[in-house]
Structure 1
């Protein structure tokens, strides 16, 4: 692996982890699947922008080894899309 691939992989994993960490994975919550925006400064607000970026991060996580379980990510995506509709 060259330095460019190393940096890209590190950025991909870091970005994915942010969205996975900030996603509401409590299935009993009204906001299940929503993703907090600017988590440190405003922990109770989710935005459509954060959710959109999170939805694009999930397929990357499904593709890459070493990321959370695929079934967990797939289980979050469908209810979130239905919630948004």
Structure 2
């Protein structure tokens, strides 16, 4: 499974995302956004997923990064 970090436009967006993933039995943990992954709200969601991460995107997500080889790589941006 791949490990991802999603960053959000608002705190409530992060909370809704966390709730949605847990309802769907996807491991997810809210956390402060790592300094190098700026965010409007400062809360991120770390989660593991083994399918196409784009399927999880909603209007609240600013960016999604995959964590590989000790580094974050952007895989989705709302911009």
Which has more strand, going by share of residues?
Answer: 2
TM-score by length of 1: 0.28
